[in-house]
Amino acid sequence: MIKRITLAIALLAFAVAAAVAAPWTGTVAAIDGKNVQITVAAEKPDWVKKGAAVVVKDEAGKTIAGGKVTEVSGASITISSRKASELKVGQAVTLEKSKGALAGC
């Protein structure tokens, strides 16, 4: 019985750790209307795909904008956001996976 409880707790901890997406840091390279191109140095996380919802935060962790990934190529990512004008070229940002909307009955 104790083995089953221990196994269940270990599986739950693993599932929670896998569900938490690691943030991705980069620098705003260009802004064109609603499109923002961000250059990144680190390897692309698994959750970064075309169409994925993202949240853009500044160095202090304050949310600046949210949007969808429109293009992923090499060391850059392009997102579409209504608040693109609030970003500045050269600004350091952190990209996080958006939690998305809750589904209800």
Residues 39-54, mean pLDDT to the nearest whole number: 86
Residues 73-93, mean pLDDT to the nearest whole number: 90
User: Can you give the pTM of this predicted structure?
Assistant: 0.70
Residues 44-51, mean pLDDT to the nearest whole number: 86
Give the whole-angstrom CA distance, residue 22 versus residue 9.
Answer: 22
- pLDDT over 90, % of the chain: 34
Domain residue spans of the chain: 22-97
Question: Which residue has 């919802």 as its token pair?
Answer: 53
CATH class of 22-97: mainly beta
Question: pLDDT tier at 61 (50, 70, 90 boundaries)?
Answer: confident
If we measure between CA atoms, which residue out of 60, 48, 50 comes closest to residue 24? 48
Residues 57-73, mean pLDDT to the nearest whole number: 89
